[in-house]
Structure 1
Amino acid sequence: MRGLGHSVHPLTLTGLSERSHLLHGTVNLDTHIQDVVATLEVEDLRDAVLVGHSYGGMVITGAADQAPERVDSLVYLDAVVPTDGDSCWSLVSDQERKWYLDVDDTGCASRPLPFFDARATPHPIASLLQPLRLTGELGHIKRRDYVYATGWADQSPFTATYQRLSADPAWRTHALAGGHNLMRDTPNELARILQDVSASR
């Protein structure tokens, strides 16, 4: 995307990967939303396209609500699409909930799901349980895209979401022949979608 002239700001959320040393029991959804909002503010970003993968759908929705003057479009990559009062816990299947409850020795983080990339680190469980609180209806968002992964080994937990949004004229939907980690499995196809989102604004 940078090679195409775009400004890209990949974020590592608090408590994950190289920021795993910041993991503690109070790291929650609000923490992660603030990670994104702070980046928008510090970098003075305007007309931003927020891209969220999986649980990241919770985060980009909350950030768009809190910084409406800075966010133009939202792209959900095989992700949850919450409304006010939803949590990641409430939006997934019983199978995912079982995985979430497999906490590590700290007691405050879920172990990486079995199909995740080998580099994945434990995820703060409070962020999966906390309901999202929205102040508005996100009416300022100009474009909403949903990218669905068709290559799950078992049934995808996002099929119903994809089908619902495919019938909604307010959304653009896409299906890519990759597993849940679309960034790894279908990078070129995904880049084309993101380029189209950016070019259409």
Structure 2
Amino acid sequence: MANIVLVGGAWIGAWAWRAVTPELRAAGHQVYPLTLTGFGDRAHLGTPETDLSDHVQDVIAAIEAEELTDVVLVGHSYAGSVVTVVADRIPERLAKVIYVAGVTPEHGKRLFDLIPGVEEIMQAMADAEGDGWRIPFISDETLDLYYGEHGLTGQHLGWLRTHAHGVPIATHREVIKLATPDSSPVPRVFVHCTGDGPAHELPHYGRDWVRAEIATGHWPMATKPVELAALLDRLVVA
């Protein structure tokens, strides 16, 4: 049995794990799906100043409030940046960090630095539909252009669009600062979603990575929730 904390990526909250959470609990784990500030039921708390540090504090505060130790911290997509900083701040609380198609940021850089030109595109989207500070959920055309074989059906997209909230753009503009970028004591696992295309190179963080994959697109909690839960169950003890 493990304490598993689930952190969704951009646009989504705890609601996105609703088909994964019961599977993990049935396997005997304590499971805590989180919603970051500005998303889901906490959308009303988002402001133009909401940044990555706020999301890091969301996760740390939840872990401390629940008095959790030996945590398996799961970060999906954008939340890979969040869990990376959390692991740097409270490594003593964590047993493992699992990135599900997660961003693996670099010390001293912003998320926007990872893909040249994307900042201008995202700002234009925010200006058009997000009051200048929220990146709205992407269009079908952008989804097909940038997310490979994402596997999202019309039903999946309807569900995501109903509940998704725009991402505060300041989260992608904050410079990531890690106290121990090359000497983390926390084991790392990267789950590659094959629909995303080739797996990207991973930073060292002072640890060798365990790699796994799941045959689906970027949002496996929507497209393959049972399979994702089974994989996470195996990785918890691996």
Identify the TM-score tier after normalising by the shorter chain: 0.7 to 0.9
Give the SS at the match of 1:151.
helix
Measured in 1, the distance between the counterparts of 2:231 and 2:27 equals 13
Which residue of the partner structure matches residue 107 of structure 1? Answer: 132
Cα 1:189–1:92 change in 2 (3 A) is farther
Measured in 2, the distance between the counterparts of 1:77 and 1:100 equals 26
Which residue of the partner structure matches residue 210 of structure 2? Answer: 172
Which residue of the partner structure matches residue 186 of structure 1? Answer: 224
Alignment of 1:89-100 (within 5 A): 89-92=112-115, 94=117, 98-99=121-122
Cα 1:163–1:89 change in 2 (3 A) is closer
Q: How many residues were matched structurally?
A: 192
Q: CA deviation at 1:74?
A: 0.8
Gaps of 5+ in 1: none
2:195 and 2:215 in contact (8 A); partners too:
yes
Cα 1:136–1:120 change in 2 (3 A) is same
1:63 corresponds to 2:100 = no
Measured in 2, the distance between the counterparts of 1:97 and 1:180 equals 23
- Alignment TM-score, normalising by the size of structure 1: 0.85
Measured in 2, the distance between the counterparts of 1:120 and 1:24 equals 16
Measured in 1, the distance between the counterparts of 2:132 and 2:208 equals 41
Measured in 1, the distance between the counterparts of 2:56 and 2:47 equals 16
Tell which has more relative contact order, 1 or 2 (C-alpha 8 A, sep 6+): 2
Q: CA deviation at 1:105?
A: 4.1
Which residue of the partner structure matches residue 99 of structure 2? Answer: 76
Which stretch of structure 1 is more off in the superposition, 88-97 or 187-196? 88-97
Which residue of the partner structure matches residue 15 of structure 1? Answer: 38
- Alignment TM-score, normalising by the size of structure 2: 0.73
1:32 and 1:59 in contact (8 A); partners too:
yes
Measured in 2, the distance between the counterparts of 1:97 and 1:54 equals 20
Match 1:149 to one of 193, 197, 211: 193
Measured in 2, the distance between the counterparts of 1:101 and 1:180 equals 23
Q: CA deviation at 1:147?
A: 1.3
1:140 corresponds to 2:140 = no
Which stretch of structure 1 is more off in the superposition, 92-101 or 106-115? 92-101
Give the SS at the match of 1:74.
strand
> Could you give the per-residue CA deviations for residues 28-61 of structure 1, whole angstroms, max 9, x where no partner exists?
0000000000011111111111111111000000
> Could you give the per-residue CA deviations for residues 101-121 of structure 1, whole angstroms, max 9, x where no partner exists?
410343211111233632311
Which residue of the partner structure matches residue 166 of structure 2? Answer: 122
> Could you give the per-residue CA deviations for residues 98-149 of structure 1, whole angstroms, max 9, x where no partner exists?
24541034321111123363231101100011111111135210x2111122
Aligned-partner residue type, residue 113 of structure 2: S
2:70 and 2:93 in contact (8 A); partners too:
yes
Q: CA deviation at 1:171?
A: 1.1
1:89 and 1:97 in contact (8 A); partners too:
no
Cα 1:187–1:148 change in 2 (3 A) is same
Gaps of 5+ in 2: 1-23, 144-156
Which stretch of structure 1 is more off in the superposition, 18-27 or 109-118? 109-118
